[in-house]
Amino acid sequence: MEALSPRFPKTGDSLPIKVPDPNSDLSFRTTVSAGFFALTTVGAVLTTLNIPLGLGLIALTSIAGVLSLTSLRLVKEWERLVVLRLGKFQAVEKPGLVFLIPVVDQTAACIDTRVQVTPFMAQQTLTKDTVPVDVDAVLFWYVFDVKKAALEVSDFALAVSWAAQTALRDIIGRSLLAELLAERATLEKLLQQLIDERAATWGIQIQAVEVRDVQIPVNLQDAMSREAQAEREKKARIILSEAEMEIAANFLNAANQYDTNQTALTLRGWNIIREGLKEKGNVILIPTDTLNSLGNAGGAMALKQFMDQQAKEAKEE
């Protein structure tokens, strides 16, 4: 059996090297240094004031407990904590329990990464055709870069709100009233693009923009209502005139048929009389020409057909 002996690395072997995290190493060294300094200071004070060691340890423990409680921060699931160390950016802490070095570390902001809702509006803003309108909209946005949102702008929520209002006024000034009323989807898309370009530098992403309402002056509403009513009446008159033309064409064809067929004309006359006699108590005035038409064969045939029809209807009743 070979004797077990420690194996030394040979020339050319690659050794696993663990690179320490500079942030965590600096935090550990700073914490140890601060603790050592605090202990030394407290010991010197106790010696100078002739305070018993037991009482001093109790005081020291109390101070350490208070500092520990103030150094702990609980970060929720939807939050991100921006930490500054000695005034400089240190890290963005994720959800969980975070330990901060007293005096050395401080929180710049605790940012909510959930989707935020910001209502905004533009009042009495002139359109491209000089019509004053009030537009009410809603903005949906969220923070995607916590560091930029905390360090690049003092109040990112207020900045987003003002940027949205400015963009809305800009879009209204470049659009006609008809476009604002009929093309809301295009307006929302332009608004989202314009606000997103301004907010991206602050680490904010615009998710959606929805226009809730577009209000116009009352007198203009009445004028637009009258215009729409006149347009509907115009269409109705055009449809009625087209119907009259079709009816006139049918009458012309019927007249041509009756002109070449006297029997058809007689039957049509008696059919008109029969329709009038359907209501009881009606008095029908028959022209003399109609009575004279009974003298020929066509009139007799028409009268016979009429009498047969009347008898058939009487039996059915």
What is the bridge-based pairing of β-strands 79-85 and 105-112? antiparallel
Helix (H) or strand (E) holding 209: strand 204-215
Residue 90's identity, in one-letter code, is Q
- pTM for this prediction: 0.55
CA distance 161 to 167: 10
* DSSP 8-state symbol, 174: T
Long-range contacts of 264-270 (CB under 8 A, 24+ apart): 266/290, 266/293, 266/298, 266/299, 266/302, 267/302, 267/305, 269/293, 269/302, 270/302, 270/303, 270/305, 270/306
Distances (CA, A) of 101 to 21, 35, 38, 317: 17, 10, 13, 108
Chain position carrying tokens 């360090």: 151
Residue 22 has a pLDDT of: 42
Give burial (CB, 10 Å; 0-12/13-18/19+) of 78.
exposed
pLDDT given at position 43: 62
Q: Is 3 helix (H, G, I), strand (E, B) or coil?
A: coil
| pLDDT tens, N- to C-terminus, the chain (317 residues) | 334 334 434 444 433 333 334 444 444 455 555 555 665 665 666 566 666 656 656 666 666 666 666 678 888 899 899 999 888 888 898 888 888 887 788 888 899 999 999 999 988 888 888 888 889 999 999 999 999 999 989 899 999 999 999 999 999 988 888 888 888 888 899 999 999 999 999 999 999 999 988 888 877 767 777 777 777 888 888 888 888 888 888 878 877 777 777 777 676 766 766 666 666 555 556 665 555 554 454 555 555 566 666 667 666 66
